[in-house]
Amino acid sequence: SSGKMGFALAGACAEAGAQVELICGPVHMDPPDRVTVHPVTSATEMCEQALVLCAGADVFIGAAAVADYRPESASAEKIKKADGTPLILTLVENPDIIACVAQSSSRPSMVVGFAAETASLMDHAREKRQRKGLDMIIANDVSDPDTTFGSEQNAVHLITETQEHSLPLASKRVIAEQIVAAVAASLDR
């Protein structure tokens, strides 16, 4: 995972006594204490690491905002201009990491994802949970400046097959602790 919510979750998991493997892209933040960081620089690498590390894990939380596409190829050399001819960049789809984890033969008991939406939040999140094969999805309204990327705070809705409940506006750290408590309660069931 990457960014503030991912780091807050990793910290809260460690605080709750879990052994935490944090796979993250380039970020300019210090990771929380007592987590093992696995740095990656592409979605493909993140997917490979996730599949390796999810074997033997009880919980997988996917909080990374993964790019939907990547360039099909990268040039080792400087690309020269060609007399006004447009440069066509072909993009190919990245793997859906959390869906791969949820389908893997070494699937953790709990696979938890995020749904950042700007409209029809709950419907889109419910649909995403089912389609990706997740046990829990955390729905996050990113049309609200209080709860979007870059904010210190968040407000979310936890959605499972049988239950939905809301966590009102609080610091990302407090939200993370509440999510981890809900995940731990589901694991014990």
Rounded to a whole number of angstroms, the minimum distance from the CB of residue 85 to ligand C5P is 32
Rounded to a whole number of angstroms, the minimum distance from the CB of residue 175 to ligand C5P is 15
Q: Which of residues 93-152 bind ligand C5P (CB under 6 A)?
A: 94, 96-98, 113-115, 128
b or e along 72-109 (b: 16 or more beta carbons within 10 Å of the residue's beta carbon)? eeeeeeeeeeeeeeeeeeeeeebbbbbbbbbeeeebbe
Q: Is 6 in the site for ligand C5P (CB under 6 A)?
A: no
Q: Which of residues 13-52 bind ligand C5P (CB under 6 A)?
A: 43
CB-wise, 75 or 90, nearer to ligand C5P? Answer: 90
Report the distance separating Cα 46 and Cα 48, nearest Å.
6
Q: Which of residues 48-77 bind ligand C5P (CB under 6 A)?
A: 62-64, 66
Question: Do residues 155 and 147 touch, judged by C-beta distance below 8 A?
Answer: yes
Bridge partners of residue 167, in order along the sequence: 156
Report the distance separating Cα 47 and Cα 44, nearest Å.
5
Report the distance separating Cα 142 and Cα 149, nearest Å.
7
CB-wise, 35 or 46, nearer to ligand C5P? Answer: 46
Rounded to a whole number of angstroms, the minimum distance from the CB of residue 140 to ligand C5P is 10
Q: How many residues bind ligand C5P (CB under 6 A)?
A: 13
Token code pair at residue 9: 């979750």
CB-wise, 21 or 96, nearer to ligand C5P? Answer: 96
Report the distance separating Cα 4 and Cα 166, nearest Å.
20
Interacting residues toward ligand C5P by CB under 6 A: 43, 62-64, 66, 94, 96-98, 113-115, 128
